[in-house]
Amino acid sequence: MLRRVDHVALAVSDLDASIEHYQRVWGLTVAHREVVAEQGVEEAMFRLGDTYLQLVAPLSPDTPVGRFIERRGEGLHHIAYEVEGIEAALASAREHELVLIDQEPRRGSRNTRVAFVHPRTNHGVLVELVEIPPDPADLRSIP
């Protein structure tokens, strides 16, 4: 069911300052930047091999990422796995009695379809399931 790690996400308060840090300290280059209004975040992604490091910053304090930072501070937010079929992955999660944040897939960044699994039933880890678009040019062409 899980194909690979798509990305690891870090919650940050100041996206521009965080981008500058990862560029200056770690020599990374932004591969993709996008506002995902439906999730209340602006994100930047750095390619690392065949995966990404994602920085997510809340658009306002009353978003899920804004509340996360208020409660826990900046840091590791979630791990995202690529799945071949997101509906099948959600069905499997239900079979295993995982608590789903998203009952149905929603639009994610980079033209993906995503759904989140609550950390309560996943050993404390927030998981994002990511379905890559059918046309790989939508995603794989990102440097």
Q: What is the pLDDT of residues 52-78, one digit of tens each?
A: 999 999 999 999 999 999 999 999 999
3-class state of residue 96 by DSSP: coil
52, part of any domain? yes
Residue 107: closest CA among 92, 79, 86? 86
Please state the pTM of the whole predicted model. Answer: 0.90
143, part of any domain? no
Domain CATH for 33: 3.10.180.10
107, part of any domain? yes
Catalytic residue ranges: 7, 43, 54, 78, 128
Q: What is the pLDDT of residues 1-54, one digit of tens each?
A: 899 999 999 999 999 999 999 999 999 999 999 999 989 999 999 999 999 999
Give Cβ neighbours of residue 43 (< 8 Å, ≥ 6 apart): 9, 15, 32, 33, 34, 35, 36, 54, 55, 56, 57, 109
Count of the separate structural domains present in the chain: 1
31, part of any domain? yes
Q: What is the pLDDT of residue 137?
A: 57
Boundaries of domain holding 16:
2-138
